[in-house]
Amino acid sequence: MTTLTFKDIWKMQMHGIELFEKKESLTKAELLDIQDTIYRLQKKGLPSTKIIEALQKQNKKIAQRWKAERAFWTESKKFDTQKVGEAGEELEIVKYKVILSPHACEKCRGKSENGRKIFKNSDIAKAEYGHVPPFHPNCYCILIPVV
Ligand SMILES: [Zn+2]
């Protein structure tokens, strides 16, 4: 399996459209800031629409609403997957699988072996993107424990 860095995933091509042009791709520091904002505002209980507005103002690269939305949903998915992993470790769960979204793309189908692949805690713990959902920006696939 190829290892994707945060840069790769943000520059990834999907449906033939380059999602983040080079001059607009986020730096690691910017991405960390975005993750921090999402985490902070979610903790405060703000709805997604408000968090997306805050992201639009925070970084001009994602000032357009669809870009801020994509950043929000992609990073939220990363948090969700991490939470599943943390809960799983506490419950001593060692296997996970992916529920594909109804319109899952080739990438997600491939990486999850059409939902049949068994993922481990070590897959979730990997720092880079692309080992577990989100497999790409705007990925709606869900990681669940296998009990
Ligand atoms: Zn997906």
Is residue 111's pLDDT more than 70?
A: yes
Centre of ligand 1 to C-alpha 45, Å, is 26
Centre of ligand 1 to C-alpha 139, Å, is 4
Q: 123 falls in which pLDDT band (50, 70, 90)?
A: very high
Tokens of 117: 């692949």
Centre of ligand 1 to C-alpha 108, Å, is 5
- For the chain, strand residue ranges (E) read 13-14, 17-18, 96-99, 142-145
Centre of ligand 1 to C-alpha 123, Å, is 16
Centre of ligand 1 to C-alpha 46, Å, is 25
Compute the average pLDDT of residues 27-42: 89
Centre of ligand 1 to C-alpha 94, Å, is 22
Q: What is the pLDDT of residues 4-27, one digit of tens each?
A: 555 555 555 443 334 444 456 788
Is residue 110's pLDDT more than 50?
A: yes
pTM score of the predicted model: 0.73
- Between 126 and 65, the more confident residue is 65
Tokens of 108: 């997600």
Q: Provide the pLDDT for residue 137.
A: 84
7-11, 77-81, 92-96, range with the lowest pLDDT: 7-11
Q: Provide the pLDDT for residue 6.
A: 52
Q: Provide the pLDDT for residue 19.
A: 43
Give the number of other Cβ atoms within 10 Å of residue 47's Cβ.
Answer: 10
Q: Provide the pLDDT for residue 11.
A: 52
